[in-house]
Chain A
């Protein structure tokens, strides 16, 4: 088959040097992903000047960067599981069940399971990229403003009940997130909103600032207040083993999540966060209440990790075939390609097959390197929990401060982050979940932009929102996603609904 011949050609450009780069990239990426405040996009951005100064050729630079990219996608889960602090935005959903698992002393299980899930997601997505990329590029052409709006609506409709048993509090949290998303320059009118004349707010609030503030800094405040009680740090660890039974149990979960994540990634503008989010909520609905989502369910760890890694691979489809970045990181990768004089777009696969297939080969290699690296390394990662908390938490906080400062080199972001920390502390005291806030910030802007664009194109005609079969289908899915859980719960009559 042509694909295999191409892939063989792709592998042929790899040398010991590029393989070494892949290993280094995977390792660096894992660390970057695990450190709160350093996500895949700024990790890759920071390393771009390094590739220039090392004088790497196009292939080597791509190998290094994709290894860092996939590495960071793997690494994000580590701090989610161990510290309840998402290492980057796509790892947000992993905190929901990963941290409870760690609290029960099953941190090793959670890390191995999520590592395998990451591998499955990324591997399937890479296969999808190889076989379907030119075909899938057409999908982007059928997604206009009204289709995107319906897609984001679907995400918000399935939000109910995530991370909290109290739907009103989850709704409140997502409204706070939506409000924060409104800050900055409004794309449709070109006017600044809620910036109070402050230039630093023109670009809006960076979600990394919000995540690190709401999770890492708030965690420190909690720690100070409770003198370390209620933290997973210091819990007794079971011996690290490979949880074969759980992996087998989650095989369909991983498959489903990979498909969902991949599709979300292929749509430009949706990205990895939406992928992991939808993967989690769909899985929660499939498994029902008995699976114990939110309390350390293994499917709740496997689904978002398979989903976000599959989305990372999927996001490369529009990036390579259309030049449209599907996520923050692919935007940076796109910029890297342009500086290497490679212009992604519809002609890339025919103009530069050498680059494309070397990229595919390096993605596969990075994936296997990461699997090999991550499972044995779990023993080292869980050791982190044995570090005394008075060393660990200040250390994590310091790294977050440095990471956030590196975003724009301005102290304003640091102040904002501490502000978010205080907000996170108060909200947790009030038992308001913080995950929907981040989702509001991540998805709110896109949702609003899509709606406003649809209204511009249709001269304010609302029926335009239902004008295509795709949009109607997504609306039906959104309504079903909103109503179905209520009925399902009524059917199984879970007692917690009564106690709420």
Chain B
């Protein structure tokens, strides 16, 4: 009896050791330290450990290159059954996948676990702009598309560009190839161009414009969310102005494709736990993120929808054939 007990104990110990080793998870940030993806990995990794969802600190690996494409191909080709791997993702990931920027790889080659926060899209103008509402701007573009140029922090066809086009299409302006857009180096640069009067509007994320809103150099015409953003209640949504567009830069994770459904569900549960934690709430507030939780199976179908509509829009403006 004793020996059996001892053996069982020993086996249990070995198993639990194995389980512990297995739970030393790795999070790949497909960019250099400091950016949004790096933030996602470090914050989620830290909170997972702090709230006891994982037994060891999550190791963060920075794998920059090809706008996230290198990390994507690494996961697809070399780690496709690694159940201890999570990868940071955002709207940029789906936009690039939809535009075939990852060398032929598609969104279904990984599994998207969920998003647990989002940077709301905004459209801002210089303080002295004649446009008072989003519709003023839309009307001006309908009258003369060349009279309004936008600056944004992403390249042409990138998420910042697509936000404006979605708004204009929804407002009934179909000639979207006529819309002038210049892609500059980041949201702050786009604001300088707008304040300087070189462009008439700026399209970006809420976190990029906060400082300039406070200093009064720019005004926000609309925020692209379902409801007004906490802390910025004076900025109307596009929806209340009759233009039903929601475009947020979500922060979330994907995992390799070939892990089991149980392993996938385990990650989904862990991510839900992070989303519900006070730590995450504090991190979101400090970084200008709005609550946006979509985790598990319905996130995948939401992603599929986003990819499909991005593809259609990109085709229309000629970024892809």
Contact = CB atoms under 8 A, between A and B. Distances in A.
Contacts of B273: none
A136 B161 CA distance: 30
Interface string A198-216: 1110110000000000000
Interface stretch (A29-37, A321-329, A360-368, A383-391): A321-329
Interface string A339-357: 1010111111000000000
Contacts of A402: none
B215 A190 contact: no
A138 B9 CA distance: 71
Size category of the B interface is 35 or more
A140 interface: yes
B287 interface: yes
Interface residues of A, number: 55
Given A49-B33, A189-B156, A457-B180, A200 B70 contact: yes
A190 B320 CA distance: 9
Contacts of B158: 190
B32 A347 contact: no
Nearest to A190: B157
A187 B65 CA distance: 16
B321 to A, nearest CB: 10
B199 A457 contact: yes
A8 interface: no
Nearest to A52: B42
Given A335-B34, A408-B64, A410-B65, A346 B186 contact: no
A140 B186 CA distance: 14
B104 to A, nearest CB: 8
B235 to A, nearest CB: 17
B210 A345 contact: yes
Contacts of A336: 34
Contact of B215 (A42, A325, A345, A410): A345
B181 interface: yes
A407 B64 contact: yes
A188 B66 CA distance: 17
Contact of B33 (A142, A335, A344): A335
A72 to B, nearest CB: 16
14 contacts: A52-B42, A141-B192, A186-B156, A189-B156, A199-B103, A322-B192, A324-B189, A338-B34, A345-B210, A345-B212, A346-B214, A409-B70, A456-B181, A457-B198
Interface of B: 32-35, 38-39, 42, 60, 62-67, 69-70, 73, 99, 101-103, 146, 149, 155-158, 161, 180-186, 188-189, 191-193, 195-199, 207-208, 210-212, 214-215, 217, 286-287, 319
